[in-house]
Amino acid sequence: MSTQFTIHATDGQARNGTLATAHGDIRTPAFMPVGTVATVKGMTPEAVRSTGADIILSNTYHLMLRPTAELVAKMGGLHKFMNWSGPILTDSGGFQVMSLSKLRKMSEKAVTFQSHLDGSTHELSPERAMEIQHLLGSDITMVLDECTPFPAMEDEAKRSMELSMRWAQRSKDAFKPRDGYALFGIVQGSVYPKLREASAAALTSIGFDGYAIGGLAVGEGQELMFDVLDVTTPHLPVEQPRYLMGVGKPDDIIGAVARGVDMFDCVIPTRSGRFARAYTHEGERNLRNAKYAEDNTPLDALCTCPACTKYSRAYLHHLFKADEMLGPILLTWHNIAFYQQMMQGIREAIAAGRFAAFAESFLARYRGIQDEKEP
């Protein structure tokens, strides 16, 4: 395992760094657009790169079912297959097995499940998860874990976490180390501080290139999520990157950066873009709202994406009302660009030692407008 993480500056617990991989550098804190099935929905790879994204995320569960990891490998690997030259992180599929699959059956050996696509039966073990991600050519491979549902009683969360730790060891044993490629462990333990601490200790004793914090953003709410981060990140190695999985909205990200997190992913900016919701420096806007029908101003005056520099709110409103595909394309582009501009602002603020002031100013403005849903 050989990736290099360099921390350039700290401000409180917030860190500004670079993670060097086989396919390029990742500036941290980083937000990874989600390309679940080898595409960021509605975006070309060139468009995603133009927003400032260094890395994207794809998913083991989805790609093992369709088109299969073996086919992707035959086509030259995931980077070539989807025409993305930068780093790729692949989620191991544990969350999707929990949330999407049918008739899931857990055992010490593996999880057996029925595909949500056609009902076919599959087995996913730590060893198979490593094999799939190796076939895909992932720069960052994730261990297979069980994503503990929320809420869960402490004894259930303990059983689940301990299984994930045994699977983490098997994942590392099966991983094929190569220069520039990384394996990340995943901390579990639900909302129980002692379980989170035990999980972090187990993973650090095994030893990984980075440490993800899983089992959050599953319904526990922001306050409880921050409480879990407060008792988790202090137990993770300072010299390795920390990745909060599946998070989140802008205020979630800023709060997590303040707690020492370096990497994020979430479907929110792309999914919201498909449903007319835009994230802007002045808050969230629902472009289906009638008040935008004659609004000739830019969506976000501080954004340099095509949606903001070439089109009006009125035009974007029209596209969604007319069910034209350009609406979701432009708004997805904008949302990803907004997130990347936010991350760049965060990195610059940490480097300048003014992260707290940046966070206060950004959030005060961002919380100014929260459009209601269209009646």
CA dihedral 40, 44, 46, 51 (to 10 degrees): -50
- Cis geometry, peptide bond prior to residue 67 (ω within 30 degrees of 0): yes
pLDDT at 230 exceeding the cut of 80 = yes
Contacts of 29 (CB under 8 A, 6+ apart): 14, 15, 16, 253, 257, 261, 262, 263, 264, 343, 346, 347, 350
Contacts of 178 (CB under 8 A, 6+ apart): 2, 22
CA 45 to chain centre: 17
pLDDT for 375: 40
Q: pLDDT digits over 75-98, tens only?
A: 999 999 999 999 999 999 888 877
265 is catalytic: yes
Question: CATH: 3.10.150.10, 3.40.309.10, 1.10.10.10, 3.20.20.105. Which one for 4-266?
Answer: 3.20.20.105
**Quick one: tokens of 127?**
């060893």
Q: pLDDT digits over 9-23, tens only?
A: 999 999 999 999 999
SS3 249: coil
Given 145, 252, 262, 265, which residue is catalytic? 265
| Whether the Cβ atoms of residue 29 and residue 351 lie closer than 8 Å to each other | no
**What are the sequence ranges of the domains in the chain?**
4-266, 272-370
Res. 373 pLDDT band, cuts 50 70 90: low
| 76 vs 174: CA distance, rounded Å | 22
For residue 72, what is the DSSP state? Answer: H
| Whether the Cβ atoms of residue 264 and residue 30 lie closer than 8 Å to each other | yes
91 is catalytic: yes
CA 83 to chain centre: 20
Given 91, 145, 252, 262, which residue is catalytic? 91
**How do 182-187 and 4-11 pair as beta strands?**
unpaired
Which single residue is written with the structure tokens 């990984």? Answer: 208
pTM: 0.97
